[in-house]
Amino acid sequence: MFSVKEVATAFNAAAKALGVDGRELDVLLASLISLSEEELAFFPIGANNKAIIQFVRSLSKSKGAAAGLGKESAPGAGGGGGYSSLKATRMMKALHSMQELPGPGEVLKLDVSFLLHPEYDSVFVRECYPRLFDALVRHPKPRKYIVTGTPGIGVTWFSYYLLARLVNSTAPPPFIVWEHMTKPGMAWCYTHKTREVVIGERTSFDDELDNPATWYIADGVPPQLDCLARIVLLTPPERKIFKLDELLACRSLLYGTVDEALVKELYRHYGGVANFVLRSPEQKPDEGLDDLLEVLRDAVAGCNAAQMRSSIGSISTGPEANHSLLHIVADETFRMQHLVFASQWVADEFAKKAMKSDELRELISLLSSASGPVRSSLYQAIMHAALPEGGSFTVAPIDGETLERRGKEEVRVLGRGAITKAFKDLQKAATEHVYNRPLSPTFTTVDAFERGEKTCDFFQVTVGSSKELESLELDSLLNDVQLPEGVTPRLHFVVPKDRYANFKLKAGKKNWPPKPQSPAFRMKLYIMKGVYARLQVCARSLHAGCPMAGGGRRLWL
């Protein structure tokens, strides 16, 4: 059986070669895109152009006759001036016949394929879908809505859930008109009274769009604004990005062929974008992690500090590739709250590239102007490049019981040239003169540590104004690292210069101060002034052989 893409390619080539005029082309295209799977099997791919056009013309006439319509005009019976769409009708009838709508974390499954995704018949219902639907129907009078956000997290998939909720509501709309960017100028119109869908030029449905009870969904195309219908524009830069547990649940239900470990690795790099973390590895089962990360590495390589500043200032007008690097985070009312780097890995790679490309000054300027999570991730990236290079840093010693500053400031001299490695198992990471960073993005106790001959320095980089300490967490950390006798653990809270003077450590809700017999009692505490102005471009941690440098293709566990 041929795919819709193969059929469309052959038809467009034939129509262009024979000079089919625009009006007839729209009619034939409307018939072509409504082909069932059985009809696709009979499409004459490989035949001459004339045979292909004759086949589609015959198909168009037969579909019009089957619907009880005239041979030549073949208007749709469902409303407007369109043509019957059997595939869309089957989908809408399947959505309407659902006995029970799935809840968050469940699967919306049909016995037919989705209109715009013929290879799929199921969609994972995210936790935010019901709340987003409620936000769209909250006001009784029609309003204009834009559902937007990070590309690749599934705007169109939400539209299927939206259609299911609408046709199964207590007062379903009399008409639902929707259009998609893959069919410019065309639209589908569902009539609830007949349960039929017709497709035609968007202007064919002006009467339906002037009905205030109509729902009008525009997916990736500018909607017709001079109408009375309730407009929902679905467009890149959607809703909340996926959390890891959502992606893992979705994998177990719909993407069982994708290895869970691979999903976690892709999430560590791409962040919560289902298109890259689930769909891409499913469609490319022969590709490994390196190949699947190529899109992200290309995006990092093609973005400089000036472009990043521009994207942060206006994400909707930035280059498409930058949406792989920056994600939109919405609040509980689905209004844009802030931007974040796709992952800490992206922030690290972007910072290292900027420093290697003689953009250090621009990078520091970007950091100075950034705020919120973007500033936090960028500051972490820069400091984790600076700390392995060593040098002298100002630190303030902290009393382990009161968590107040004690005594005079000290100068902490860190050894130069430590190699950076990522760790998964703390017990295997305590090698001398290696700057260790956790592989897991959810590892929260420390950001990095480096063991010396007599000391082991732990680092937590933050742009916050305070930090809570829990002795049980520090006990667990030191038990896992298993430092030899005579090696003193030192925990440094690395903060920007403007935070250093007023940064506070606070006791957690319980278990502080640590008991004398506990491992945490040995930990020496410091606040470090994280100065990066003298950071050098030529750093050993950035050389080509470093496993965390350049493309980052190898991870050392």
Each residue of 154-211: pLDDT tens digit? 667 889 999 999 999 998 999 999 998 888 888 999 999 999 999 988 888 988 998 9
The encoded tokens of residue 477 equal 């950390």
- pLDDT at position 343: 78
pLDDT value, residue 442: 56
The 3-state secondary structure of 418-440 reads CEEEEECCHHHCCCECEEEEECC
Which tens digits make up the pLDDT trace of 284-328? Answer: 888 888 888 887 877 777 777 767 766 665 544 444 545 567 665
Non-local CB neighbours of 141 within 8 Å, separated by 6+ positions:
212
Average pLDDT of span 267-283 = 80
Q: What is the pLDDT of residue 109?
A: 92
**Rounded alpha-carbon distances, angstroms, from residue 337 to 154, 210, 377:** 19, 34, 17
pLDDT at 334: 42
| C-alpha to C-alpha distance for 540 and 434, rounded to whole angstroms | 12
Distance CA 524, CA 460 (A): 14
Q: How large is the average pLDDT for residues 28-40?
A: 66
> 321 or 371: which carries more pLDDT confidence?
371
Higher-pLDDT residue of 77 and 216 is: 216
Q: How confident is the model over 377-390, as pLDDT tens digits? A: 888 888 888 888 88
| Cα–Cα distance, 507 to 522 (Å, whole number) | 17
Q: Would you state the pLDDT for residue 349? A: 82
Give the mean pLDDT of the chain: 77
Of residues 489, 542, 266, 150, the one with CA closest to residue 381: 542
pLDDT at 17: 87
- The pair phi, psi for residue 180, each rounded to 5°, is -140, 150
- pLDDT tens string 241-251: 667 887 888 78
Q: Which residue has the higher pLDDT, 8 or 537?
A: 8
Report whether pLDDT(254) > 50: yes
User: Taking a C-beta distance cutoff of 8 angstroms, is the pair 341, 375 a contact?
Assistant: no
- As a whole number of angstroms, the distance between CA 146 and CA 398 comes to 50
Tell me the range of 282-296, 352-366, 539-553 where mean pLDDT is highest.
282-296
pLDDT score of 362: 78
